């Protein structure tokens, strides 16, 4: 469908999702740049962001309690906030375009193909009636694969990329474990060669050992493929372990933002301090207070 064919000049990717570059040094253009974003349900404004950016090849952690607007921000980036009844204003720059000004058709091309999203409950993210392979093949055909064979090959390669056996493609979602399903979801982003991954609480529904594997995987994607990641979590321990920078949200606003170590070691805002204090002090939380 619309997915094949040359991309319009405005959306020229800065680099192909395939080349294996490490994290990019500061100073390059941010992958996603949000200005004056306002998300409201009717008269009630739930998110008010003056500025937030995800650097190229950066993992930005978006932390905060439930209801603080983290997920709505991610949905707004994909242009999906209106589907849950919200009105969105402001600008979200991505590859030189304002995502909020795109037509529905242009947005569909960005979704999945350029920006992928991973959700909280991994198994519920899959339509139960289709096999994993079906999901991959159809998504890839929608987003640029020339034929089933190529789609299949890319799917298998992506599964290997997340350390899963390619024969998983023949399974139904309910036959996957939570950790496997989340890997599959990430593999889909990989197969689609998305440049940006929006991860909305991707580890919250998983047990701790599986959590660690997923975090490792997300880091590897960034290190090996240069993917930029917006990692949303209410769990500061998880964010601390993974992210380069952290933005802490509360009641729709960012109360503190900075390099992960700084924010965790010397939180300036009292809310952040409360969050840091709430983290159980076992393991690698930046040296401890």
Q: Give the footprint of another protein on this chain (CB under 8 A).
A: 1, 78, 80, 83, 107-113, 116-117, 119-121, 124-131, 138-139, 142-143, 163-165, 167-168, 170-172, 174-175, 177, 180, 185, 188, 192
- Shortest spacing between CB 197 and another protein, in angstroms: 11
CB of residue 114 to another protein, shortest distance in Å? 9
Strand order in the sheet with 32-41: 44-54, 32-41, 87-94, 97-98
Of 155 and 276, CB closest to another protein:
155
Helix (H) or strand (E) holding 44: strand 44-54
Q: Which is nearer to another protein, 113 or 245 (CB)?
A: 113
Burial label, 171 (beta-carbon count in 10 A; 0-12, 13-18, 19+): middle
Q: By C-beta, is 147 or 177 nearer to another protein?
A: 177
Burial tier of 1 (Cβ tally within 10 Å: 0-12, 13-18, 19+): exposed
- Please report how close the Cβ of residue 289 comes to another protein at its closest, in angstroms: 37
Q: State which residue, 81 or 236, has the beta carbon closest to another protein.
A: 81
> How far is it, in rounded angstroms, from Cα 132 to Cα 36?
39
In terms of Cα–Cα distance, which of 128, 236, 121, 105 is closest to 174? 128
Minimum separation from the CB atom of position 171 to another protein (A): 6
> What sign does the CA torsion over 280, 282, 285, 289 have?
positive
3-state secondary structure of 150: helix
Instruction: Give me the phi and psi of 255, to 5 degrees please.
Output: -95, -20
For residue 9, the minimal CB distance to another protein (Å) is 20
CB of 175 to another protein, least distance (A): 6
Secondary structure of residue 233 in the 3-state scheme: strand
Q: Between 169 and 248, whose beta carbon lies closer to another protein? A: 169
For another protein, which is the closer residue by CB, 1 or 277?
A: 1
């Amino acid at each position: 469908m619309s997915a094949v064919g040359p991309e319009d000049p405005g959306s020229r990717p800065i680099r192909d999702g395939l080349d294996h570059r490490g994290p990019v040094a500061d100073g390059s253009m941010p992958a996603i740049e949000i200005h004056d974003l306002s998300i409201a349900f009717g008269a009630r404004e739930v998110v008010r962001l003056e500025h937030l950016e995800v650097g190229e090849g950066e993992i930005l952690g978006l932390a905060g309690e439930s209801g603080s607007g983290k997920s709505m921000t991610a949905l707004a980036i994909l242009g999906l906030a209106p589907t849950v009844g919200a009105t969105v204003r402001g600008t979200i720059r991505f590859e030189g375009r304002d995502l909020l000004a795109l037509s529905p058709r242009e947005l569909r091309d960005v979704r999945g193909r350029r920006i992928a999203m991973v959700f909280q409950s991994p198994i519920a993210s899959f339509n139960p009636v289709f096999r994993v392979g079906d999901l991959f093949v159809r998504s890839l055909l929608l987003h640029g694969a020339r034929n089933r064979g190529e789609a299949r090959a890319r799917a298998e390669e992506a599964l290997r990329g997340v350390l899963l056996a390619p024969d998983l493609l023949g399974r139904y979602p309910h036959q996957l474990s939570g950790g496997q399903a989340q890997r599959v979801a990430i593999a889909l982003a990989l197969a689609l060669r998305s440049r940006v991954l929006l991860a909305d609480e991707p580890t919250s529904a998983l047990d701790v050992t599986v959590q660690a594997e997923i975090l490792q995987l997300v880091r590897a994607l960034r290190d090996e493929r240069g993917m930029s990641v917006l990692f949303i979590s209410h769990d500061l321990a998880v964010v601390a372990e993974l992210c380069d920078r952290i933005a802490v949200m509360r009641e729709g606003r960012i109360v503190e933002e900075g390099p992960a170590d700084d924010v965790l070691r010397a939180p300036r805002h009292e809310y952040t301090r409360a969050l840091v204090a709430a983290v159980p002090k076992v393991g690698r939380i930046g040296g401890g207070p």
